Structure formats: C-alpha cells, structure tokens
C-alpha cells in the first residue's frame, strides 16, 4: 500500500497532510515516508532470510543521512561510488565492513580511505584499476578484497542512459576478457580475489535479463573454479524498477518473486556443482528501496496560458528533479488538495531559464495559482541529482514517521551557495 494517500480531501504522507508540511517547511520540499522505506527494505530482507546474503543499498539513489541511518539499523550494507559516499556511510553509523565500492574512476585517495576503513570489497572495473589498487594496498601493507565487475552483455531493455551491461558501455570488464582479467588479478600480491559482480541497468521491470546475467556469472564462477580461483561471493547488482504510474506502464516484478527465482537458480547450481555449498549473494538495489518513499512537494506560482500549450509554473525546477529533462522520465503529478471544476492540459515547468526545465508534460489538472502539487515517486535520483543551477538553493528534505515530521535537510540559502567562492585579491 502506498504511504501517500488522500485523507479528508488532502494528500498525506502517512498521517501528515502535505499542506501542513508546506506551511511549516515551505516548498519545494522532498517528503519521505519512513514506513515506506522500511517496507521496501523489508521486502529484500525477508527474501534473504536465513541465507548468506547482503543487501548493499546503492546510496547514489538517495544518500541523506537519515535514510542511511534507518537502513543501516535495519541491517543494510551499502554500495558506494566515491570517498564522499563512504564518509556518509560512516557519518550515518553504517558499517564499512558491509560496504562495497563500485565505479570506474576510483582515485588513489579514495582507495586509501576505503582500505583504511576496511570495506568489504572493491568492485573493480578495469585492469589499470587493478594495478592501482594493488599498489595502494601494497603501500599500506594491506591486501585489498576485490570483485571484478563483469559485463554480461545482456540487453536490459531500458533507457539507453541507464543501460549499463552492454558491450558499448564504459562499465565493467567484457565477458570474453573476464577470465584473463581474473588471472591478472589473482597474480597481484596485494589483492584478494573474493567475488564477481555485475550491474546491467536500472529501472528493469522484468527479471529475465537479471536471471540471464546470473547464468553468465555462474558459468564464469565455474570456469574460474576449474582454474583454482575460488570466489566467495556473487553480486548481481541493482536495477529492479518501480511503478512510476504512467498509463499503460508494465508493473515491475515484485522483489520477493525476483529474489525467489534467483535463489532457486543459485541453489540448484550449488547442489549440482558444489555439493550444496552456499555462496554469499550480494544485491545493490537503489531505486526499488527509495523511489516510492518520496514525493517532491511544489507550489504553483503562475498559470500561463500559451498559444499551443498551457503552463503551470511551479517553484520546483529541473535543478531539483533532473529525471524528466535528462531521461524524458514520466513522473506522476497529484494535486495536494484536488478541486472541482474543468481540467485543462498543462505542462508543469519550473522557473529555470531553459526550455528543458519541465517536470511533467500534458497533464490534465484542475488547478489555481498557489495550489500545491506532489511530484510522485521522487525518492530515488531526485535530491541526489539536484544542482544549484540559477543559484537556486536545494530543496529541504523531511521525513514523516506516523504523525511526526522530521526535518532531515535544511533548505539551502543563497549565501550557502557562494560561501566557498572568493574574488581576486
């Protein structure tokens, strides 16, 4: 059940009306539901019950400390892509020992920090990266745990900007080069080869490509074992999609169904080839944990009838929520207090000086200036992708827990935005 529902004529987050939140905290504001967050993580945790499995939340989707703290307490590990994200994990009380480090461009400083903090594993994406990591670990008198991100060349059938498992992508080691790359890694003295990982893309609605990728990883793990390279974990990445609610959209496969099928496949393989000995399984979900836990609350400043189109100009913009303009993503728009009356078709746009500054197109709405709108399913890749373009402070973030509202990030003010700048002396 969604934790954003209409009650007494107004859209609520759990038991708090979004109107009350706008009155207290202003707009634009990201509003999250704690119950939704724990429910989404719980779907993964339940499916992993009793198994050697770790859910490493891909925090690029939403890295607010309050969210990390709640997930860490629920048992999550983390998938990070920068030293900054590792510092966030630590600041939120997360466990570096349950943290994996993805990304194609890890710097020496980031590697050093991650080794100092004893992270669980580096997901390495290239041979030069293996050599750099080997050197950094050697200089610290340590051995770095590594997994290779293998590119299974599976078509994830998603938007090209978020498909990552094809040969033409910058990510991972090509499947055909994987064996050779593993041999190189195993020969380096300061690396411990412990795992294999992949991530084929994001917003996948069907688990068939994920299971296809799993089969490729399984094949490789067996080939490596025949060579004496024994892996301790298998990391299938993230990627499971969510329902953004556009008409005719296919609903995503439920988390439990996908994990059930995946574990069944793994169990059959282990029984067949490895005497039933289990292998640790890691997941890196981002969107499916946070997307439907958040909305972006925004107020209509003006209604502007146009020659060809009507515009609802709101106080949120592309700098607050990049997904529509960057991926032509469809996001749901709901009036916080619906009104009677005829609907008109609007493009919902922000005040930024770009034609690409739109949040939703051609929506039928009965609205008036001053009305609040909620941009739905905005908890993933919303705030984390926000910028300060046009010297716009980033939105406030609040989290609702039952009938309580917690401010989890203050709104930025213009002075914050230029505080680090200086003029020539």
Judge whether 198 counts as a catalytic residue. Answer: no
Q: How many CB atoms lie within 10 A of CB 131?
A: 14
Q: Which has the closest alpha carbon to 130: 151, 117, 116, 149? A: 149
Question: Chain centroid to CA 311: how far?
Answer: 30
User: Does 381 participate in binding ligand LLP (rule CB under 6 A)?
Assistant: yes
* 327 in a labelled binding site: yes
Distances in Å between the Cα of 258 and the Cα atoms of 48, 77, 283, 391 are 11, 20, 12, 43
The interface with ligand LLP within residues 130-189 (CB under 6 A) comprises: 162
**Own/partner pairs for 226-229, CB < 8 Å, 24+ apart?**
227/179, 227/182, 227/183, 229/182, 229/183, 229/186, 229/193
Tokens of 218: 């399984």
Distances in Å between the Cα of 188 and the Cα atoms of 29, 144, 181, 240, 370 are 49, 10, 11, 35, 63
How do strand 4-7 and strand 10-13 relate by DSSP bridges?
Answer: antiparallel
The interface with ligand LLP within residues 222-251 (CB under 6 A) comprises: 237-240
**Are 215 and 153 within 8 A, CB to CB?**
no
Q: How many CB atoms lie within 10 A of CB 305?
A: 9
> Residues 48, 121, 198, 353: which is the catalytic one?
353
User: Does 293 participate in binding ligand LLP (rule CB under 6 A)?
Assistant: no
Tokens of 109: 């400083």
Closest approach of ligand LLP to the CB of residue 60, in Å: 6
The interface with ligand LLP within residues 47-66 (CB under 6 A) comprises: 58, 61
Question: Which residue's CB is nearer to ligand LLP, number 103 or number 335?
Answer: 103
Closest approach of ligand LLP to the CB of residue 197, in Å: 8
Region from 24-32, 174-182, 198-206, 250-258 binding ligand LLP, contact rule CB under 6 A = 198-206
Interacting residue with ligand LLP among 3, 12, 88, 199 (CB under 6 A): 199
* 335 in a labelled binding site: no
The interface with ligand LLP within residues 258-287 (CB under 6 A) comprises: 284-287
Question: Which residue's CB is nearer to ligand LLP, number 221 or number 240?
Answer: 240
3-state secondary structure of 360: strand
Question: Which residue's CB is nearer to ligand LLP, number 152 or number 286?
Answer: 286
What angle, rounded to 10 degrees, do the helices at 208-226 and 178-187 form?
50
Looking at residue 187, the DSSP 8-state letter turns out to be: H
Positions of E strands within 280-357: 280-283, 294-305, 310-314, 333-335, 344-349
User: Does 252 participate in binding ligand LLP (rule CB under 6 A)?
Assistant: no
Interacting residue with ligand LLP among 323, 363, 392, 394 (CB under 6 A): 323
Closest approach of ligand LLP to the CB of residue 165, in Å: 10
Three-class SS of 228-260:
CCCCCEEECCCCECCCCCCCCCCCCCCHHHHHH
Q: Taking CA 44 as the corner, what is the angle to CA 247 and CA 283, rounded to the nearest 5 degrees?
A: 100
Count interface residues toward ligand LLP (CB under 6 A). 20
* 258 in a labelled binding site: no
User: Does 33 participate in binding ligand LLP (rule CB under 6 A)?
Assistant: no
Site string for ligand LLP, 95-114 (x = CB under 6 A): -------x------------
Closest approach of ligand LLP to the CB of residue 329, in Å: 6
* 381 in a labelled binding site: yes
Q: Which has the closest alpha carbon to 254: 210, 286, 213, 206? A: 206
* 273 in a labelled binding site: no
User: Does 327 participate in binding ligand LLP (rule CB under 6 A)?
Assistant: yes
Question: Which residue's CB is nearer to ligand LLP, number 99 or number 102?
Answer: 102
* 285 in a labelled binding site: yes
**Are 96 and 162 within 8 A, CB to CB?**
no
* 103 in a labelled binding site: no
Tokens of 360: 């939703």
Closest approach of ligand LLP to the CB of residue 237, in Å: 5
Question: Binding site residues for pyridoxal 5'-phosphate, as ranges?
Answer: 239, 284-287, 381
Catalytic residues: 353
Question: Binding site residues for substrate, as ranges?
Answer: 287, 323, 327, 354, 381
**Where on the chain is the footprint of ligand LLP (CB under 6 A)?**
58, 61, 79, 102, 162, 199, 202-203, 237-240, 284-288, 323, 327, 381
């Amino acid at each position: 059940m969604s934790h954003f529902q209409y009650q007494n004529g107004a859209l609520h987050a759990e038991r708090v009306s979004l109107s009350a939140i706008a009155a207290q905290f202003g707009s634009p504001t990201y509003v999250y539901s704690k119950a939704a967050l724990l429910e989404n993580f719980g779907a993964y945790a339940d499916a992993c019950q009793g198994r050697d499995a770790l859910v490493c939340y891909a925090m690029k989707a939403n890295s607010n400390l309050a969210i990390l703290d709640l997930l860490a307490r629920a048992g999550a590990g983390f998938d990070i892509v920068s030293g900054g994200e590792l510092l966030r994990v630590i600041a939120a009380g997360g466990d570096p020992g349950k943290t994996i480090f993805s990304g194609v461009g890890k710097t020496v400083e980031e590697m050093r920090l991650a080794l100092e903090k004893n992270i669980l594993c580096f997901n390495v994406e290239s041979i030069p990266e293996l050599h750099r990591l080997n050197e950094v670990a050697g200089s610290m008198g340590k051995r770095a745990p590594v997994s290779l991100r293998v590119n299974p060349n599976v078509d994830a059938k998603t938007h090209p900007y978020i498909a990552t498992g094809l040969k033409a992508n910058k990510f991972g080691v090509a499947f055909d080069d994987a064996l050779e790359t593993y041999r190189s890694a195993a020969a380096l003295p300061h690396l411990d080869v412990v795992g294999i990982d992949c991530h084929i893309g994001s917003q996948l609605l069907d688990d068939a490509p994920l299971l296809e990728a799993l089969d490729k990883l399984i094949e490789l793990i067996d080939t490596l074992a025949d060579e004496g390279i024994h892996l301790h974990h298998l990391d299938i990445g993230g990627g499971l999609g969510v329902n953004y609610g556009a008409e005719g959209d296919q609903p995503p496969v439920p988390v439990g169904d996908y994990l059930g099928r995946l574990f069944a496949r793994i169990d059959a393989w282990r029984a067949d080839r490895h005497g039933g000995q289990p292998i640790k399984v890691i997941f890196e979900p981002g969107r499916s944990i946070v997307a439907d836990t958040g909305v972006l609350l925004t107020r209509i400043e003006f209604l502007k009838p146009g020659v060809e189109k009507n515009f609802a100009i709101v106080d949120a913009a592309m700098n607050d929520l990049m997904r529509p303009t960057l991926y032509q993503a469809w996001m749901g728009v709901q009036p916080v207090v619906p009104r009677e009356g005829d609907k008109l078709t609007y493009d919902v746009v922000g005040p930024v000086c770009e034609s690409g500054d739109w949040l939703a197109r051609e929506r039928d709405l009965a609205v008036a200036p001053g009305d609040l709108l909620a941009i739905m399913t905005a908890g993933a890749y919303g705030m984390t992708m926000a910028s300060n373009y046009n010297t716009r402070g980033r939105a406030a973030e609040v989290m609702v827990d039952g009938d309580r509202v917690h401010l989890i990030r203050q709104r930025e003010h213009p002075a914050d935005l230029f505080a680090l700048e200086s003029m020539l002396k």
